[in-house]
């Protein structure tokens, strides 16, 4: 048994309504998309500009007599071949590895292991931020300053406030 249907009493479909604000809505959507894209790019750039001071730091000027054997401070968190091993290096080539180390933009501190009854400590701050290897910092421009202390037999032998320049390796 088939039922028969009729269109009698059916209503016609309504035509779609176009708002006079449709162009404004489209412009707003495009603006929001542009704003979202801009924020994403800004965040990506900020991430690449994070603080990364890996490299060597050399004393600016003539060292005080008590530090005449001082060579430099080496940071090499990524263990790159172009950079020396991390630690404090003397002119004679001794490398005092870090025993403790804090590397932050406004707080750079370390103590070294003891070699031949001598050890070092440092407390200072970086004068610039960013990724040092990707930025030209100048050969003699100070990028680090702080107080270097030398110990012999656990007793303070010498202390000096020093400034350092940056070398990113070859």
Distance CA 119, CA 98 (A): 10
Domain ranges of the chain: 21-50, 55-167
- Indicate the SS3 state at residue 107: strand
Please tell me the pTM assigned to this model: 0.69
pLDDT of residue 76: 84
Series of mean pLDDT values for 10-residue runs along the chain (170 residues) = 63 60 63 54 52 92 93 85 84 95 96 97 95 79 96 96 86
pLDDT of residue 40: 47
pLDDT of residue 17: 56
Distance CA 95, CA 83 (A): 13
Distance CA 106, CA 119 (A): 23
pLDDT of residue 84: 77
DSSP class of residue 52 equals B
- For residue 101, which of 74, 63, 132 has the smallest C-alpha distance? 74
pLDDT of residue 22: 61
- For residue 96, which of 112, 110, 118, 109 has the smallest C-alpha distance? 112
């Amino acid at each position: 048994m088939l039922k028969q249907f009729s269109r009698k009493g059916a209503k016609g479909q309504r035509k779609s309504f176009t708002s006079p604000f449709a162009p404004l809505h489209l412009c707003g959507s495009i603006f929001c998309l542009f704003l979202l894209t801009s924020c994403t790019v800004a965040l990506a750039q900020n991430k690449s500009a994070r603080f990364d001071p890996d490299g060597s730091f050399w004393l600016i000027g003539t060292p005080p007599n008590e530090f005449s054997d001082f060579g430099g401070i080496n940071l090499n968190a990524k263990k790159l071949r172009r950079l020396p091993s991390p630690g404090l290096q003397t002119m004679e080539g001794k490398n005092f590895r870090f025993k403790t180390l804090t590397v932050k933009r406004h707080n750079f501190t370390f103590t070294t292991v003891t070699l031949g009854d001598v050890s070092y400590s440092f407390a200072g701050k970086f004068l610039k931020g960013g990724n040092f290897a990707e930025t030209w910092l100048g050969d003699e421009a100070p990028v680090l300053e702080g107080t270097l202390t030398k110990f012999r037999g656990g007793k303070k032998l010498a202390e000096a406030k020093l400034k350092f320049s940056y070398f990113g390796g070859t």
